[in-house]
Chain A
Amino acid sequence: MKVKSYFFRCVQYVFLVTAFVLAVFPFYWMVVGTTNSAVDIIKGKITFGDQLIPNLKKLFADYDVGRIFWNSCKVSILTLIGQLLISSMAAYGFEFFASKARERVYRAVLLTMMVPFAALMIPLFRLIVRFHLLDTHTGLILTSLASVFLIFFFRQSYKSFPKEIIQAARVDGAGEFRIFWSIVAPAMKATYAAAAIYSFMTSWNNYMWPLIVLQSNNQKTMQLFVSSLASAYFPEYGVVMNAILISTLPMIVIFFSLQNYFVRGITGSVKQ
């Protein structure tokens, strides 16, 4: 019995270690790849080389990486601000001003979460063309402003906010916007942080919609850049690796510095 359970435990560790190594190794290889030449990468070299400086030089000489990186930052941050404002307000209305009619609206809103983006894409594209917003960041941001998931996420968190505090604030004569802005929102900092990470990650990593909306080179985001770089006829893999690392780094930094919020932002939706 003892031997059997010891053996069982060993199998578990072997399994977990394998999963861990498989999950982390590509990150290691990504970092190693930034220092190797295209040939070495495609032949699977797993040790550091001496091509980091040439790779970086080529990347920054041939492409306006600074601008592309800035484009991604700008789009992601503006989308984040808009999404957080709009969805936290909406969730506040749904939760603290509950009524039959608004509950029905809420149900309908949730239902749209099931509609795949592919079904919205074509009319959205035509809308953008009609408003002359093609190839602009405004068009990209505007169409991403509403996030059903975030409305749901905020409302779930508001549920645990004591309603008596709001009553008390009203008795003290605080206006409804002041209650929202200086009482409820500050108390929900953790929720906002988690939502911000979720929102930032979604727009930073978005590919299909920017691909359709943005067309000229100086409007491109990091994802579009990496994709076009890697699908060239003779990709410079060393340069590609550096671009990949630059586009992934912000997410890794955010993940490690705000891990708890990060996980909350992802799982918050299923907690009862």
Chain B
Amino acid sequence: MMTEKPIKMPNYGRPRWTLSRYHRYGWFFISFAVLVLALFMLYPIISSLIMSTYSSRGMIQRFVGLGNYQRLLKDRVFLQALKNTLIFFIVQVPIMLLLALLIATLLNNKDIKFRGLFRTGIFLPAVTSLVTYSTLFKMMFSLEGLVNKFLLNIKLISTPIPWLVDPFWAKITVMIAMTWRWTGYNMIFYLSGLQNIPDELYEAAKIDGANAYQQFARITVPLLKPIILFTAITSTIGTLQLFDEPTNFASGGVTAATIGPGNSLLTIAVYIYNLCFKYMPNFGYAATIAYVIVIIVAILSFVQFKLAGERR
């Protein structure tokens, strides 16, 4: 490189040696990333696809073709994990996104005082790690703990709620915690999107007699569509991989025999972890389940794109 003379005017298309030089630099700049991605991204993707056609017990491997995929349908633990994960997705994601959108719309209103303070405070949970907030919420939702005490004091309930002991309530607890952690995070996306919507649009709508709800449904939501789609897809990917929360909410952590009461917090990702690192490792079967997540993510993203009416 040093031996070559500095080029005078590398007008991209002109002399041929300049063009090849252009490409050489182009490939060089991206080479490190491409190398790392090929090794730690592309190779694993392909490798786990191949792996999913093998069944292994410890060291012994045998080819089973689509056998692992058939086994899935009869695997009760898997079906429970799938069900648990989908419940988290179906219930928690819409509530959280709606809440985030609502708060963002309110905070975008210039007449509201202390907007900066509200924004900072509501976003703050997003700096906590998944482990720490799970642990913190586990303590808050203990049987004699903070939340039950508060609800009893304001006479909302007469007996303590078995938050982490009952399979139903355990899911609710994790959903409440997840909503706490991620609402502010999603709100920030909506706020930055809302800033790009000109105020004149709302002014014009007001003059035409549109009420607050109509403005929300006809202006805010359609114009924020790409961002709503983005948050919906990232939330989908995140929820389907739910791992940190269930393992840290369960008493006993990752080593616990059941994740949550009656395995109510067992998610697909936790099951994959168990198959690889807790029981006699069956990497092939675990890879199959990982691909189920890929397939579900692909389907759900496709549906969300369709719902949003986007082309790309």
Residues of A whose CB lies within 8 Å of any CB of B are: 8-9, 12-13, 15-16, 19-20, 22-24, 26-27, 29-30, 33, 41-44, 46, 85-87, 89-90, 92-94, 97-99, 102, 105, 109, 112, 114-127, 142-143, 145-146, 148, 151, 170-171, 173-176, 180, 201, 204-205, 207-208, 211-212, 223, 226-228, 230-231, 233, 237, 240-241, 244, 247-248, 251-252, 254-255, 259, 263, 266-267, 269-271
A230 to chain B, nearest CB (A): 4
Given that A19-B122, A255-B124 are known contacts, is A228 also in contact with B253, CB under 8 Å in the complex? yes
* Majority secondary structure, B binding face: helix
| CB pair A97 B22 closer than 8 Å | yes
Distance A47 CA – B303 CA, assembled complex (angstroms): 49
B136 to chain A, nearest CB (A): 6
Given that A146-B40, A170-B7 are known contacts, is A122 also in contact with B48, CB under 8 Å in the complex? yes
Neighbouring B residues of A266 by C-beta, 8 Å = 126, 185, 188-189
| CB pair A44 B144 closer than 8 Å | yes
Contact for B124 among A23, A102, A228, CB less than 8 A: A23
* Majority secondary structure, A binding face: helix
Given that A16-B103, A143-B40, A145-B40 are known contacts, is A240 also in contact with B135, CB under 8 Å in the complex? yes
Distance A102 CA – B25 CA, assembled complex (angstroms): 12
Q: Does B86 touch A at the CB level, under 8 Å?
A: no
Residues of B whose CB lies within 8 Å of any CB of A are: 1, 6-10, 22-23, 25-30, 32-34, 36-37, 39-45, 47-48, 51, 102-103, 106-107, 109, 111-112, 117-118, 120-133, 135-140, 142, 144-150, 180, 183-185, 188-189, 192-193, 212, 226-227, 230, 233, 237, 240-241, 243-244, 247-248, 250-256, 268-269, 272-273, 276-277, 283, 286-287, 290-291, 293-294, 297-298, 301
21 contacts between A and B (CB under 8 A): A44-B148, A44-B149, A90-B34, A112-B45, A118-B269, A119-B287, A121-B44, A123-B43, A146-B37, A148-B41, A207-B130, A212-B273, A212-B277, A223-B129, A230-B138, A230-B253, A231-B256, A244-B136, A266-B189, A270-B192, A270-B193
